[in-house]
Amino acid sequence: MGEKRFLSGNEAVARGAWEAGVRLATSYPGSPTAQLLESLARYPELHAEWSTNEKVALEVGIGASLAGARVLVAMKHVGVNIASDPLLTFSYTRVNGGFVLAVGDDPGMHSSQNEQDSRCWGPFGFLPILEPGDPQQAFEMTKAAFALSEEVETPVLLRLFDKTAHMAGAVGTGERVAPDVKGFRPDPNDSFMTPPYSIGRRRKLEDRMERLRALAEASPFNEVLPGRGEIGLVASGYVALYAREVAAELPLFRLGTVFPLPLERLRSFAREHRTVVVVEELLPFIEKELLAAGIRNVVGKALFPSYGEITPESLHAGLVAVGADLLPLPGAAPIVEAVPRSPLLCAGCPHRPVLRVLKDLKVSCHGDIGCYLMGAYEPLSVFPTSISMGASLGVSVGMEKIQGGPDGQSPHKPNVSVMGDSTFVHSALPSLANATYNGHPVKLVVLDNRATSMTGGQENPSTGKDIRSRQHRRFDFAGFARLVGIDEVHEVDQFRVKELKVLLKEHLEAPGRSAVIVAQRPCALKYKTKQPPFFVDPDVCIACRTCLTVACPPISMQPYAHKPEGTLNSFIDANQCVGCSVCAQFCPVGAIQRTEPGKEPEAPRPVGFEREG
């Protein structure tokens, strides 16, 4: 083993892919795998790019693999839904350059709209799936996945989780050994997937699955860790590590290949134990495979939750319930009540004034995937719907069709779609063309903040910079809207709140007319917005609480010593304020003013905040 490095799961996969000689890597950023491509892009020997969406990422990867180069494509679980069109047919082909698709699942929905189980792509798409448990294994499995891909001529799915992608540990690394690019083999029997060729390939998948099953039986990633007693555990990935921590005395079949499973080895394991307990998150995938293989002494989901993450506590409880003799866990320390803290738009966020203005309009807004989804939370509460990337445009069109009636004139609030720059390019380009093609009135607000912010501020077509900050062409949102036939297209600086109000009111409240508004302030976090902070003069403040309705982290109501007891006035924490001015523009009495650079404001400070910090 070479040098030890401290790597996260994402970084370990990147390192493994680099060592395996990857020449091209693509991704659309999504938690938990957003950092994977960023790590890979640090290696100069390969081409890395942010794709506009996961389908394109996969297709570019397919091209490079067909040309005989090793390829890694990374995405979050829901990204595979979009990429599944090419993926499920690519899997029919005879893969040339090793192809690994790294997928990040998110049980518990830390950063996702659902918690679909990516193992389903295995049987659905004839795809082998490897599942590492810690960074060392993530590194080793990535290298092994490339070898497997070329040996069996199949794409290989590497399944990560929030817990494995973000778990960091020491990894023994090696050197890069890049196989030569094999070159394209132009043979329709291998890669032209339309009948009759695809029918021929479909037959060959049976042989491929047979070989994969045999390889799973022999895989060193599947191992039995010894223990005592009549209960045997079956688990994969990091859940297997939990199992080892919580119940070290129980024998454990630790799986690395979750599809296809090493069923014969599992059958022998089951024979040796009275009860086999399958510990798995989400669907009863392994459990059902075992039952279908005629292994009867299996229990799984009867003991563990079907959704969310498995925790050491739920794992322990399930094992005790099935009769395992485990020491009790100490249990939670005396619970101290803590009020919740939900995510909040950052101080200076350019989405804030747009969402705040939308709240006052007579429109019905539909949200999308990005930081602005926080507009669904109090006090903004402008979004009753959010489905998937770019969906708000189609959703608003469909709702408009029904609510407006056949002629669009039935009384109703016009439907408005609100989405970010990256989301728009990702999935809404066809929706906008669809709307104009079908003559739908369409109202869209594009929040162009020049970053894919939710996942860490990645570059995207709105900046025109690639992952290595080289400048290419910037996407022209207004130009695209005009091109597909929208006449009313307006760009606005949303920090001029008055202009913003007039513009949005005029174009969004009018029924039956189309408009695209592009709001253009950059992300405060990525571009580090910082101007002298604002402060509240409590003697001008009328305690109307309008400033609270912009939902900005530094603004709260506080008691002031010189004001009547029991009254509260507004206060801005200068440590958090970045000086965007939006709250001041909403204040009806001018109580919020900018601090002069380098000066402390003379206004009195509230009780408990007598000094800065």
Partner 1 sequence: MGVKNLFFAGVGGQGLVLSNQLQARAALRAGFDVKTSDVYGLAMRGGSVFGYNRFGDRVLTSTFAEGTGDVLVGLEPLEALRYARLLRPGGLAVVSTGRIFPACVLLGKALYPDDSVATLRGAGFEVVAIEGLRISREAGNPKMTNLAVLGALSLHLPEIPEEAYLEALRELVPEALFEPNRRAFELGRAAGRNEEGPGRGP
Ranges of H-type helices in 417-486: 421-423, 429-437, 477-483
Per CB under 8 A, contacts with partner 1 among 28-67 are: 31-32, 34-35
Q: Tell me if residue 209 falls in helix, strand or coil.
A: helix
**601 lies in the binding site for partner 1 (CB under 8 A):** no
**374 lies in the binding site for partner 1 (CB under 8 A):** yes
Q: From CA 202, how far away is CA 207, in angstroms rounded? A: 10
Of the residues 1, 292, 327, 332, which one makes contact with partner 1 according to CB under 8 A:
332
Q: Is 330 exposed, middle or buried (0-12, 13-18, 19+ CB in 10 A)?
A: exposed
**1 lies in the binding site for partner 1 (CB under 8 A):** no
**430 lies in the binding site for partner 1 (CB under 8 A):** no
Tokens coding 309: 């993450």
**316 lies in the binding site for partner 1 (CB under 8 A):** yes
Beta carbons of 172 and 136 less than 8 angstroms apart: yes
Residue with smaller CB distance to partner 1, 134 or 448: 134
**226 lies in the binding site for partner 1 (CB under 8 A):** no
**245 lies in the binding site for partner 1 (CB under 8 A):** yes
Site string for partner 1, 4-23 (x = CB under 8 A): --x-----------------
Q: From CA 61, how far away is CA 11, in angstroms rounded? A: 20
Comparing CA positions, the residue from 369, 455, 423, 417 lying closest to residue 114 is 369
Residue with smaller CB distance to partner 1, 411 or 608: 608
Residue with smaller CB distance to partner 1, 196 or 379: 379
Q: Tell me if residue 128 falls in helix, strand or coil.
A: coil
Residue with smaller CB distance to partner 1, 177 or 335: 335
Shortest Cβ distance from residue 243 to partner 1 (Å)?
10
Shortest Cβ distance from residue 575 to partner 1 (Å)?
5
Comparing CA positions, the residue from 369, 350, 476 lying closest to residue 418 is 369
Q: Which residues of 181-215 are buried (b: 16+ CB within 10 A; e: fewer)?
A: ebeeeeeeebbebeeebeeebeeeeeebbeebbeb
Q: How are strands ordered across the β-sheet holding 489-492?
A: 364-366, 415-420, 443-447, 515-519, 489-492
Of the residues 214, 322, 329, 607, which one makes contact with partner 1 according to CB under 8 A:
329
Provide CB contacts within 8 A for 470, sequence distance 6+. Answer: none
Work out whether the CA dihedral 204, 206, 209, 213 comes out positive or negative: negative
Shortest Cβ distance from residue 73 to partner 1 (Å)?
20
Shortest Cβ distance from residue 82 to partner 1 (Å)?
19
**458 lies in the binding site for partner 1 (CB under 8 A):** no
Shortest Cβ distance from residue 168 to partner 1 (Å)?
5
Residue with smaller CB distance to partner 1, 297 or 314: 314
Beta carbons of 431 and 390 less than 8 angstroms apart: yes
Residue with smaller CB distance to partner 1, 479 or 613: 613
**233 lies in the binding site for partner 1 (CB under 8 A):** no
Q: Is 565 exposed, middle or buried (0-12, 13-18, 19+ CB in 10 A)?
A: exposed
Per CB under 8 A, contacts with partner 1 among 159-218 are: 163, 166-170
Comparing CA positions, the residue from 232, 224, 240, 248 lying closest to residue 327 is 248
Residues shown for the chain? 613
Comparing CA positions, the residue from 321, 324, 388, 482 lying closest to residue 113 is 388
Beta carbons of 589 and 539 less than 8 angstroms apart: no
**111 lies in the binding site for partner 1 (CB under 8 A):** yes
**338 lies in the binding site for partner 1 (CB under 8 A):** yes
**346 lies in the binding site for partner 1 (CB under 8 A):** yes
Per CB under 8 A, contacts with partner 1 among 129-158 are: 133-134
**600 lies in the binding site for partner 1 (CB under 8 A):** no
Q: Tell me if residue 353 falls in helix, strand or coil.
A: helix
Site string for partner 1, 554-593 (x = CB under 8 A): -xxx----------x------xx-----------------
Residue with smaller CB distance to partner 1, 29 or 86: 29
Considering only the stretches 47-55, 212-220, 236-244, 440-448, report the one whose residues sit in contact with partner 1 under the rule CB under 8 A.
236-244
Comparing CA positions, the residue from 493, 394, 515, 380 lying closest to residue 447 is 493
Number of residues that bind partner 1 (CB under 8 A): 64
Of the residues 64, 246, 519, 587, which one makes contact with partner 1 according to CB under 8 A:
246
**343 lies in the binding site for partner 1 (CB under 8 A):** yes
Residue with smaller CB distance to partner 1, 331 or 406: 331
The DSSP 8-state label assigned to residue 188 in this structure reads H
Strand ranges in 264-345 using DSSP code E only, listed in sequence order: 275-279, 298-299
Residue with smaller CB distance to partner 1, 389 or 444: 389
Cα–Cα distances in angstroms (integers) from residue 274 to residues 55, 185, 604, in the given order? 46, 52, 73
Give residues in contact with partner 1 (CB under 8 A).
Answer: 6, 31-32, 34-35, 110-111, 133-134, 163, 166-170, 238, 241-242, 244-246, 311-313, 316, 329-346, 371, 374, 377-379, 454-456, 525, 545, 548, 551, 553, 555-557, 568, 575-576, 612-613
